Amino acid sequence: MEKVAEKVSADTPATAKTVLEVEGLKTYFFVRQGVVKAVDDISFSLKAGEKLAIVGESGCGKSMTALSILRLVPDPPGRIVAGSIKLDGKDLLKLSDAEMRKIRGNQISMIFQEPMTSLNPVWSIGNQISEAVMLHQNVSRHEAFDKAVEMLKLVKIPEPSRRAREYPHQLSGGMRQRAMTAMALACNPHVLLADEPTTALDVTIQAQILDLILELQERLGTAVVLITHDLGVVAETAKRVIVMYGGKIVEEAAVEDLFENPLHPYTQGLLAAVPHLAALSTQAGEAASRNRLKEIPGIVPALVNLPKGCVFAPRCPHASDVCRNEYPPYEMKQPGHGVACWHAGKLAGGAHA
Amino acid sequence: MSPPPSESAASTIGGHSESGPAANVSFDAELARAGANVNSRWGMALFLAKRYPLGGVGLAIVTLFILVAVFAPLITGHDPLATNPSISLAKPAAAHLMGTDFMGRDLFSRVIYGARTSLAVAFGATLLGVVFGVLIGLASGYLGGWVDLTTQRVIDMLQALPTLILAMAMAAALGPSLTNTIIAIAIPKLPSIARVIRASTLSLREMPFVEAARAMGMSEMRIALRHILPNTLAPLIVLATAGLGSAILVEASLSFLGLGVPEPHPSWGRMLSESAAEYVRTAPWLVIFPGLAITFAVFGTNLLGDALRDILDPRQRTSN
């Protein structure tokens, strides 16, 4: 494992090869009320060792994108209807189920939101990690268990050889998420999908888990897709950000660029909705009503039978007739900064007040 | 007594409960909280026996019957099948502790060897019922869809018939033999076991750890057998133990009716049926001793089953 880590970290992210390439991915759910376009024509790529964040409100298709990559969309009613997902140039959508199982947990791993219930209560954590190792590597039970202990040590669980024999209920939430991370990274995957890995944890533990994931991804050279709704987490961790709304990518940019110069009204709304400690404290004496946290009016639309036009138009302060009638094309406004908005040019610079 | 932790499968779905759905998991922790020495098996056994004295009695009775069945030739010197007309219907005495039957066979040896038959049928039928019940319930709950629909309708039909009637029909159709008796008793057991396993499977398959297992690249078969099945064991153990007593009773009933274990295997039920009508007044020991054996065996397994239910299922606990 040490050898692999050295080899990969020698590459710099700029010259690194693309490990994951998603193109025109469409995941639809066929329900009685109609077709839910949970993921609608999404394309992005991920380089080896890269840190990518996908942000957006609940129900905008973030988790479904991750599950689509692993081909774990509940079917029925969901189905990937179009697109390609290439891992090291190999299209995952063309693989058989058995071939796909060899990819999951081995080349692409996932950490889930619920550390409390993502581990099986009847098996010890060492047992569960070694099961994952034995599934993908031809090693004995004993070697796999040693590997599990080593992984637990790597995720900084104290007394790893004793903890490996403990059951999930004997560990705290943060410990369990560490164990999940150990399991996900045990086979040295190329890509780690972290679906809101810190949402269920309390704030002090969140930072620890994020630091841990980042440290390990640098050490092991894993590319990380961090799915979150927390822009604070994005600012701390990712290099590149994809903003999703209504199953579509509405903006993509480097993290500094996005925070300084958001082009899409939705991104601007999201950033404005982050509480600013400085703003609050300087105007603390003034009327509280003027300092109320900004919000984006309305709610995420149900993705059943969407009307034509921009999905965000009903909630957008800048919406015009063209927005309501035609979906805006996704365009590169600046190098490395793409956006899908009719008014993106005019709105540039008009970020959070 | 500590408050029951949320160990039920239903209450943990989507929740942030500390423990998983299986009762046997936080079991150790809970015992430790109650003051048991969980690090030593004997310490735990002692603690449980103290808390559930009736369960201890049940376990003692079941253990006694198992020992008697295993060491039957060492306990009695008489051949349970040897007839001796000269001592027909002898009263209980030192030579024949429980007397003899109308063919002069030693009743004590027959009761002792009868334990073999009864336990073979009880454990055999329970094992058979559990294996197939679990497979049916697991497949039904995990696969869902038309598999679930068809198996559940068959289960409905089986469940509509009373246990004894179904066992009688099976025994009559299969013919009398030890194996057939076991099968006949196992089949009526299937519905309840399959239902219990299906119910837990339905809630367990929606648990995040199942999705996590899938994301680790495990096959559906592996998930069902290694990750779902062990979580359903607590209710299964209770059901199986409680079912031992009823299996013994059904075997006795079938043998009483002449549909059970055939000659020459000594069976408590048939001993009753041979003697009840003709000899109950003249030689009551022929009825009393096999009857006592049946009573104690059923009593013991039921006590053990009740205690296991209380131990493994906190929802059933009363404040004692």
pLDDT tens, B128-174? 999 999 999 999 999 988 999 999 999 998 888 887 888 888 888 88
CB contact under 8 A, B215 and A105: yes
Confidence band (pLDDT; 50, 70, 90) for B28? low
Residues in B 27-46 with any Cβ partner in A closer than 8 A: 29
For residue A76, cis peptide bond before it (omega within 30 degrees of 0): yes
Quote the CA–CA distance of A270 and A244 in Å, as a whole number: 11
Q: Which residues of B33-42 are buried (b: 16+ CB within 10 A; e: fewer)?
A: eeebebeeee
Given a contact cutoff of 8 angstroms between Cβ atoms, the answer to whether A249 and A243 are in contact is: yes
Give the per-residue pLDDT at A4.
Answer: 44
Residues of B with Cβ-Cβ distance to A169 under 8 angstroms:
18-20, 25-26, 29
CB contact under 8 A, B212 and A180: yes
Give the per-residue pLDDT at B9.
Answer: 39
Q: A113-127, A216-230, B11-25 — which is least confidently predicted?
A: B11-25
pLDDT in tens, A118-142: 898 888 999 999 999 998 988 999 9
What is the pLDDT averaged over residues A198-210? Answer: 83
Confidence band (pLDDT; 50, 70, 90) for B197? very high
Confidence band (pLDDT; 50, 70, 90) for B8? very low
Give the per-residue pLDDT at A200.
Answer: 78
CB contact under 8 A, A114 and B208: yes
Given a contact cutoff of 8 angstroms between Cβ atoms, the answer to whether A55 and A250 are in contact is: no
Selected from 1.10.3720.10, 1.10.1670.10, 1.10.150.120, 3.20.20.70, the CATH number assigned to the domain covering B69-79+87-316 reads 1.10.3720.10
Confidence band (pLDDT; 50, 70, 90) for B228? very high
- As given in the structure block, the two tokens for residue A102 are 């060899």
Q: Describe the crossing of helices B145-160 and B178-204 by its angle, rounded to 10 degrees.
A: 130
Residue B305 has pLDDT above 50, yes or no: yes
A61 CA to chain B: closest CA distance, Å? 18
Residue B230 has pLDDT above 50, yes or no: yes
Quote the pTM value: 0.76
Out of A112, A131, A132, closest to residue B208 by CB: A112
Give the per-residue pLDDT at B242.
Answer: 81
Residue A182 has pLDDT above 60, yes or no: yes
Q: Does B12 touch chain A (CB under 8 A)?
A: yes
Confidence band (pLDDT; 50, 70, 90) for A279? low
Confidence band (pLDDT; 50, 70, 90) for A305? low
Q: A3-12, A193-202, A227-236, B84-93 — which is least confidently predicted?
A: A3-12
Give the per-residue pLDDT at B199.
Answer: 92
Confidence band (pLDDT; 50, 70, 90) for B315? low
Residue A145 has pLDDT above 60, yes or no: yes
Give the per-residue pLDDT at A291.
Answer: 63
Q: How many CB atoms lie within 10 A of CB A353?
A: 7
B221 CA to chain A: closest CA distance, Å? 12
Residues of A with Cβ-Cβ distance to B17 under 8 angstroms:
116-117
CB contact under 8 A, B20 and A120: yes
- B192 vs A273, more confident: B192
Q: Please tell me which residue of chain B has the smallest CA distance to A105.
A: B216
pLDDT in tens, A17-47: 888 999 999 998 888 888 888 888 889 989 8
Q: For chain A, how far is it from start to end, CA to CA, in angstroms?
A: 48
Give the per-residue pLDDT at B193.
Answer: 92
CB contact under 8 A, A121 and B21: yes
Give the per-residue pLDDT at B163.
Answer: 79
Q: How many CB atoms lie within 10 A of CB B12?
A: 22
Q: A170-184, A212-226, B250-264 — which is least confidently predicted?
A: B250-264
Q: How many CB atoms lie within 10 A of CB A307?
A: 11
What's the 3-state SS for chain A? CHHHHHHHHHCCCCCCCEEEEEEEEEEEEEECCEEEEEEEEEEEEEECCCEEEEECCCCCCHHHHHHHHCCCCCCCCEEEEEEEEEECCEEHHHCCHHHHHHHECCCEEEECCCCCCCCCCCCCHHHHHHHHHHHHCCCCHHHHHHHHHHHHHHCCCCCHHHHCCCCHHHCCHHHHHHHHHHHHHCCCCCEEEEECCCCCCCHHHHHHHHHHHHHHHHHHCCEEEEEECCHHHHHHHCCEEEEEECCEEEEEEEHHHHHHCCCCHHHHHHHHCCCCHHHHHHCCCCCHHHHCCCCCCCCCCCCECCCCCCCCHHHCCCCCHHHHHCCCCCEEEECCEEECCCCHHHHCCCCCC
A187 CA to chain B: closest CA distance, Å? 10
Site from B209, B220, B233, B237 to mutate, A interface, most A CB atoms within 10 angstroms: B209
Chain A interface with B: residues with Cβ < 8 Å: 70, 72, 101-106, 109-110, 112-114, 116-123, 131-132, 135-136, 167-170, 180, 183-184, 200
Give the per-residue pLDDT at B37.
Answer: 60
Q: Residue B121: name the closest of B267, B18, B307, B4 by CA.
A: B267
Quote the CA–CA distance of A303 and A325 in Å, as a whole number: 17
User: What value does the mean pLDDT of chain A take?
Assistant: 82
CB contact under 8 A, B215 and A110: yes
Quote the CA–CA distance of A56 and A226 in Å, as a whole number: 12
Give the per-residue pLDDT at B123.
Answer: 92
Give the per-residue pLDDT at A38.
Answer: 87
Q: Residue B265: name the closest of B119, B159, B86 by CA.
A: B119
Please report the sign of the dihedral spanned by the C-alpha atoms of residue B211, residue B213, residue B217, residue B218.
negative
Quote the CA–CA distance of A143 and A127 in Å, as a whole number: 12
User: What value does the mean pLDDT of chain B take?
Assistant: 80
Give the per-residue pLDDT at A8.
Answer: 42
Measure the CA dihedral B70/B73/B76/B80, to 10°.
Answer: 100
Quote the CA–CA distance of A131 and B225 in Å, as a whole number: 14
DSSP-derived secondary structure for B77-95: -S-TT---GGGTTPPS-SS
| Domain residue limits, chain B | 69-79+87-316
Confidence band (pLDDT; 50, 70, 90) for B296? very high
Residue A78 has pLDDT above 70, yes or no: yes
pLDDT in tens, A332-347: 888 888 888 888 766 6
- B69 vs B91, more confident: B69
Confidence band (pLDDT; 50, 70, 90) for B200? very high
Q: Residue A47: name the closest of A71, A86, A15 by CA.
A: A15
**Residue B118 phi/psi, 5° resolution?**
-60, -45
Residues in B 190-209 with any Cβ partner in A closer than 8 A: 207-209
Q: Of B80-89, B101-110, B220-229, give the range with the top mean pLDDT.
A: B220-229
Out of B19, B212, B217, closest to residue A135 by CB: B217
**Residue A287 phi/psi, 5° resolution?**
-60, 130
Given a contact cutoff of 8 angstroms between Cβ atoms, the answer to whether A67 and A49 are in contact is: no
Share of residues in chain A with pLDDT > 90 (%): 15
CB contact under 8 A, A168 and B217: no
Q: How many residues does chain A have?
A: 353
Share of residues in chain B with pLDDT > 90 (%): 24
Q: A223-227, B27-31, B120-124, B207-211 — which is least confidently predicted?
A: B27-31
- B119 vs A292, more confident: B119
Q: Does B144 touch chain A (CB under 8 A)?
A: no
CB contact under 8 A, B29 and A169: yes
Quote the CA–CA distance of A245 and B131 in Å, as a whole number: 50
Confidence band (pLDDT; 50, 70, 90) for B7? very low
What is the pLDDT averaged over residues A217-222? Answer: 86
Quote the CA–CA distance of A140 and A146 in Å, as a whole number: 10
Quote the CA–CA distance of B284 and B108 in Å, as a whole number: 14
Site from B216, B220, B225, B228 to mutate, A interface, most A CB atoms within 10 angstroms: B216
